[in-house]
Amino acid sequence: MIFHRHLRKAIKLQGERSSTLDLARGRLVLISGFFFAVYMVLLLRSLDLTLIQGRGVDTDTSISYAYSEPVGDNNVRADIVDRNNVLLATTLQTASLSVRPSLISDPLRAAKGLVEIFSDLTYGDVLQKLQSEKNFVRIKRNVLPGEQFDVLGLGEPGLIFEYEDRRVYPQGGLFSHLVGYTNIDTLGQSGIERSFNGLLAKGKETLTLTLDVRLQHIMHREIARVMDEFNALAGFGVIMDVRSGEVLAGVSLPDFDPHNPGKANDMQLFNRLTLGAYEFGSVFKIFSTAALFETLNVPMSTSFDVSEPIKVGRFTIRDYRAKNMVMTVPEVFMYSSNIGSAMIGRAVGGHALKDFYSDLGLLTKLDFEIKEMAKPKVPNPWNDVSTLTVSYGHGLSTTSMQLVSAVSSIVNGGYLVKPKLILDNSKQLMENSKNNQYVQVVSEQTAHRMRQLLRLAVTDGTGKNADVSGYRVGGKTGTAEKVGAHGYDRKRLMSSFVGVFPVDSPRYAVFVAIDEPKGHKGSFGYATAGWTAAPAVSRVIMSMATILGIKPQILTVDQDLGSSLKHYISSKEK
Amino acid sequence: MKKNVLHIILFFTFAALSGGLLFYTSQSVQRAEDELYNIQVSVLKEKEAIHALKAEWAFLNSPARLEALALEYLDLVPPDVGQIISDASSLFESVPVLQDSFIEENFHEISSSELKIEKEAFSSVFVTPRKKPIRKNAVIKKRFDTILNEIIAGGVE
């Protein structure tokens, strides 16, 4: 009871002062609640920072870069690949070593260590750089990962690594002229690297070329072999698809390492395929003979008296191996008679011949995907002597690319093809042929006659060494004397051979030229095209056939394309 | 009064809950972002590694190198054009083949004279052997279990 009374008193007491007390208590609760909340937030935040976000501080990637994307690989220079997607040029990141001399603690020790790691650095040079007054000095580019590890092991805070792009050519010097090279800032300096610099620098898409690394290797190997055998100055060659003008291989020797173009000499840097304009000699008889058929439409039996050398002014045209007789067109072609060809040129006429050469693109600078392109040297003025000499390929120098595309344009059925290096998969080729986009430079008939003549020159003429059983090679030799200080030099030759196969329905043109070959015992002292370039073309075709899986077709002598011309060849040679 | 306290309690509970939820959300976003960044970095590293490996692959497969290695270490030479033929049927004379079913069905019914005629018809293909092969020092192949038995019996050293 007593307890009850007390309680009632207390309640009564509370009841009297309730409003003031409640107010004070409410404020107290509010303030302490506020502080409680603030401290809770601080506590949680500190927990967050230390325990949750602090996990794995040892790995640098754990730092949160909210909203920041890692640097993409979009700005890396694009790759160049061949037609089968084999890598020809790519960009890799390499480290380069630099130094902040002010941060170097022990220059002597650091220099000693660096010289031990990099054998190509010299102690004095490095020491000088380490003690330099400059803020920042580069010591070495392209440091390998293993070397980088060793440098980090030196423990010098002043040695800094920077990462930069470097152009790498996995095929080495194989494509040094066509693909080209870049400078250390990965800017294209020659070849495709130069002419497509803008596109490659954007780095969006891989550039696919028409080249085939296997065929390129074959060409390289065979030219190197002939150069070695005949102790030649240089050699170059092209494989072209005669239907599309796609360049499947293009070699110019001597070549160089595109990783280190600075060490190459001018001889190596010179791209003979595009920058070299040469007089190719008898190979041009293909064009003058085609001009004869095309402009005058004469029969095969048309004959020329080649028994006497032609004299025009102070100029005398002689044959390499004189055959004192009256020759038909097939004979002129297969024996490669200069007199006969000059007569063919005269028959066609200077104007018509010049127009014909011009249609084939032999007189103007070739429009090609490689910028380094020589202008052909055209006789100016084009007089009567020029007409005679250009008929057998003298007095007019062209690039080999022009020559091969002109030959392709004749044998493929007569439509003009342009050499190209960038692979076009858009089926434009077929569309163009449908829409008659092609320019017909010679008629189908002339094309057929030329194929016959080319075959004859291989089966019975100067190009016998170029034949490959089952693959019906047609072609023409060309042995030109190079121009020396005093006119043509008999000892300095440019021996070339252009072959097409299979000749009845040509698919590939193979061209090889050897600059200044020297005859040896095995070739009986000869260094002419039949002994140098023709066997090389033959070997290239043999390897091509097995690699590309082209089936042979053995024909009897009568089935052969050149056989129908046999009766134009007189059996008696004086 | 009671209502007030209830309100306050409710308010703080709600605040704490939403604060917790916000904290949780921000944590998971941050964690996801970290993870994303790490993945992107590793993807990039992986891509660079693939890129370098591709370059190495192209280098190791360069035709000049492969040719040199093949000539040095393999007993193989590049194929010759003579080894390619356009038509496989031109290689061998085709041999007439008797169907199994035919032989089984007609085995007993073919008289020896018929067989002889058949053999004569294909005489250009089937050569009749005249002698048995002579084998000096011929090693007669033994079955493994007979050898084992011999060893057990002590017949073989």
pLDDT of residue A218: 93
Residues of chain B contacting A93 with CB distance shorter than 8 Å? 48
- Contact state of B62 with A170 under an 8 Å Cβ cutoff: yes
Task: Give the residue-averaged pLDDT of B61-85.
Answer: 85
Q: Are A118 and A147 in contact (CB under 8 A)?
A: yes
Name residue A484's beta-bridge partners.
Answer: A487
Task: Give yes or no for residue B14 having a pLDDT over 90.
Answer: yes
Cis peptide before B133 (omega within 30 of 0): no
Assess A70–B contact: CB distance below 8 Å, yes or no.
yes
Burial (CB count within 10 angstroms: exposed 0-12, middle 13-18, buried 19+), residue A446: buried
Domain A216-568 has CATH 3.40.710.10: yes
d(CA A149, CA A256): 31
First to last CA, chain A: 162
What is the mean pLDDT of the segment spanning A70-86?
77
Out of A53, A170, A546, the one facing B79 most closely (by C-beta) is A546
For residue A10, pLDDT beyond 70: no
Q: How far, in Å, CA of A220 to CA of A214, rounded?
A: 10
Who has greater pLDDT, A227 or A57?
A227
If you average pLDDT over each of A212-226, A430-444, B104-118, B129-143, which comes out highest?
A212-226
Q: How far is CA A563 from CA A407, A410, A476, A567, A573, in A?
A: 21, 20, 17, 8, 19
Res A454: pLDDT: 92
Question: Would you call A420 an interface residue with chain B, using a CB distance cutoff of 8 Å?
Answer: no
Residue whose structure tokens are 């010679």: A442
Residues A89-99 have a mean pLDDT of: 86
The arithmetic mean of pLDDT across residues A294-310, rounded, is 85
In chain A, which among 80-109 make CB contacts under 8 A with chain B? 86-88, 90, 92-93
Q: What is the pLDDT of residue A223?
A: 94
Residue B29: other Cβ atoms inside 10 A:
11
Distance CA A413, CA A441 (A): 9
If you average pLDDT over each of A61-70, A209-218, A361-370, A375-384, which comes out highest? A209-218
Instruction: For tokens 């320019």, name the residue.
Output: A439
Q: What is the mean pLDDT of residues B28-52?
A: 89
CB distance B48–A29 less than 8 Å? no
* Cβ–Cβ gap B47/A73 under 8 Å: yes
pLDDT confidence of residue A537:
93
- Min Cα distance B96 → chain A (Å) is 27
pLDDT value at A91 more than 80: yes
- Of residues A495, A518, A537, A525, the one with CA closest to residue A281: A495
- Whether A470 and B86 lie within 8 Å, measured CB to CB: yes
* SS3 at position A14: helix
Q: Spell out which residues of chain B touch residue A217, defining contact as CB-CB under 8 Å.
A: 62-64, 67
How many residues belong to chain B?
A: 157
What does the pLDDT look like over A312-371, one tens digit per residue? Answer: 777 788 776 666 678 888 888 888 888 889 889 988 888 889 999 998 989 989 888 888
Per the CB < 8 Å rule, is B84 touching A552? yes
Q: Which two tokens stand for residue A401?
A: 């690319």
Give yes or no for a contact between A462 and A529, defined as CB atoms under 8 angstroms apart. Answer: yes
Q: Decide if A80 contacts A89 (C-beta within 8 A).
A: yes
pLDDT in tens, A41-58: 899 888 878 776 665 544
Q: Please return the burial class of A262, using the count of CB atoms within 10 Å of its CB with bins 0-12, 13-18 and 19+.
A: exposed
Q: Which residue in A44, A65, A469 is closest to B23 by CB distance?
A: A44
Instruction: Tell me, yes or no, if A224 comes closer than 8 A to chain B by beta carbon.
Output: no
Classified as helix, coil or strand, A481 is: strand
> Percentage of chain A with pLDDT > 90?
25
Global ipTM: 0.74
Residue with the bigger pLDDT between B139 and A199: it is A199
Average pLDDT, chain A: 84
- Please tell me if residue A223 touches chain B, with a CB cutoff of 8 Å: no
Q: What was the pLDDT predicted at B122?
A: 58
Give the pLDDT confidence of A155-212 residue by residue, as tens digits.
888 888 888 888 889 998 899 999 999 988 888 889 999 999 888 888 778 899 999 9
pLDDT of residue B135: 55
Q: Does A60 touch chain B (CB under 8 A)?
A: no
Among residues A534, A519, A527, the alpha carbon closest in space to that of A475 is found at A534
Nearest residue, CB atoms, B41 vs list A61, A549, A551: A61
Q: Which of B81, B87, B91 to mutate to test the interface with A (most CBs of A within 10 A)?
A: B81
Facing residue for A92 by CB, picked from B52, B80, B86? B52
* Closest Cα in chain B, distance from residue A227 (Å): 17
* pLDDT tier for residue B105 given thresholds of 50, 70 and 90: low
Residue A408 has pLDDT above 90, yes or no: yes
What confidence score (pLDDT) does residue A156 get?
Answer: 83
A497 pLDDT tier (thresholds 50, 70, 90): very high
Nearest CA in chain A to B54: A87
A398-399 and A474-484 beta bridge pairing: unpaired
Q: Is A280 left (phi over 0), alpha (psi -120 to 50) or beta?
A: alpha
Concatenated DSSP letters of A94-109: EEEEEE-GGG-S-HHH
Considering CB atoms only, which of A22, A73, A552 is closest to B86? A552
Residues A22 and A19: their CA atoms lie apart, in Å, by 5
For the segment B127-145, the average pLDDT, to the nearest whole number, is 58
Residues of A in contact with B61 (CB under 8 A): 86
* Residues in A touching B45 (Cβ below 8 Å): none
The upper half-sphere exposure of residue A253, i.e. CA atoms within 13 Å in the direction of its Cβ, equals: 27
More confident residue, A376 or A204: A376
Residue A331 C-beta-side C-alpha neighbours within 13 Å: 22
Q: Is B82 on the interface with A (CB under 8 A)?
A: yes
User: Which pLDDT score is estimated for A573?
Assistant: 45
| B25 near A CB under 8 A | no
- pLDDT above 80 for B19: yes
The stretch A382-396 carries a mean pLDDT of: 87
Q: Residue A206 region, left (φ>0) first, then alpha (ψ -120 to 50), else beta?
A: beta
pLDDT the model gives residue A236: 94
- Shortest Cα distance, chain A CAs vs residue B81, angstroms: 6
Alpha-carbon gap: A194 to the closest alpha carbon of chain B (Å): 21
Decide if A141 touches B, using CB distance below 8 A: no
Give A86 to chain B, closest Cα distance, Å.
Answer: 7
pLDDT in tens, A309-321: 888 777 788 776 6
Most B CBs within 10 A among A142, A546, A555, hence the mutation to make, goes to A546
Q: How far is A502 from chain B (nearest CA, A)?
A: 14
Closest chain B residue to the Cα of A81, Cα to Cα: B58
The tokens for A280 are 């190719």
User: If DSSP codes are grouped into helix, strand and coil, which group holds residue A237?
Assistant: strand
A358-371 burial, b at 16+ Cβ within 10 Å, e below that, comes to ebbbbbeebebbbe
SS3 A497: strand
Answer for the pair A88, A81: CB distance below 8 angstroms, yes or no. Answer: yes
Partner A contacted by B86 (CB < 8 A) = yes
| Partner B, chain A 20-59, Cβ-Cβ below 8 Å | 22, 26, 29, 33, 37, 40-41, 44, 48, 52-53
pLDDT of the residue at A488 = 78
User: Does the pLDDT value for residue B7 go beyond 80?
Assistant: yes
**Cα gap A429→A309, rounded to integer Å:** 47
Nearest to A357 by CA among A372, A329, A378: A378
Q: What would the 3-class secondary structure string for A474-491 be? A: EEEEEEEEEEECCEEEEE
Inter-chain CB proximity B86 and A553 less than 8 Å: yes
pLDDT range class, residue A9, cuts 50, 70, 90: low
Using CA atoms, how far residue A186 sits from A92, A164, A197, A356, in Å, is 11, 10, 9, 43
pLDDT of B141 > 90? The answer is no
Candidate from B40, B54, B80 with C-beta closest to A87: B54
In chain B, what is the straight-line distance between the N-terminal and C-terminal CA atoms, in Å?
113
Question: What pLDDT score was predicted for residue B39?
Answer: 92
Question: Does pLDDT of A240 surpass 90?
Answer: yes
Q: Is B63 on the interface with A (CB under 8 A)?
A: yes
**Whole-angstrom Cα distance, residue A336 to residue A464?**
13
* pLDDT tens, position by position, A448-491: 999 999 999 998 888 888 888 888 899 999 888 888 777 777 78
Size of interface A-B (CB pairs under 8 A): 106
Evaluate whether A326 touches A307 at the Cβ level (below 8 Å): yes
